[in-house]
Structure 1
């Protein structure tokens, strides 16, 4: 479930950064249309890929339920961090993407 959590959090952070308001608050610039599209596509791809470890570990019936719980947990964590610790939200997403290959080997 760790891999699914890391991917979901990174996906939600990418979707968050694709919005002008959050991108400006976190990175102090407006995203270009190309960057905005890349962040949106990357965020959705990460969210879709995060289904795989959940289903792989627990099967389709339980895995989808676990994946929904991980989705809610990662979104809740991001929503709590954005107003109070925005830099920590970015750091966690970056570290999550760096650690996810290690977590992927634990799943396999």
Structure 2
């Protein structure tokens, strides 16, 4: 389930960065159209991978329920961190992407 949490949070962070306002607030510059599109596709891909990880870990019945809980928790964490600790929100997303291969190995 840890893999689903890490991928879901990173996916929401990528979707957040695909918006002009958040990208300029967090990184200090406007995003190009190609970068916005790449972040949007990457974010949705990470959310899809998190669904796969949840279903692979617990099966369809319980995996979907756990994935919905992971969606809510990761979105809540990102929403609470963005106004007060925006750099921490980015660092957590980067650490989550770096730690996801380890979590994938541990899940096997």
> The TM-score by the shorter chain falls in which range?
over 0.9
Q: What is the Cα deviation at residue 4 of structure 1?
A: 0.2
CA RMSD of aligned residues (A): 0.5
Aligned to 2:91: 91
Q: What is the Cα deviation at residue 70 of structure 1?
A: 0.2
Could you list the per-position Cα deviations for residues 8-54 of structure 1 after superposition, in whole angstroms to 9, with x for gaps in the alignment? 00000000000000000000000000000000000000000101121
Aligned to 2:19: 19
Q: What is the Cα deviation at residue 68 of structure 1?
A: 0.4
Q: TM-score if structure 1 supplies the norm length? A: 0.99
* Structure-2 separation of matches of 1:73 and 1:86: 17
Q: What is the Cα deviation at residue 6 of structure 1?
A: 0.3
Q: What is the Cα deviation at residue 58 of structure 1?
A: 1.0
**Any runs of at least 4 consecutive aligned residues in structure 1 with deviations exceeding 4 A, and if so which?**
none
Unaligned runs of 5+ in 1: none
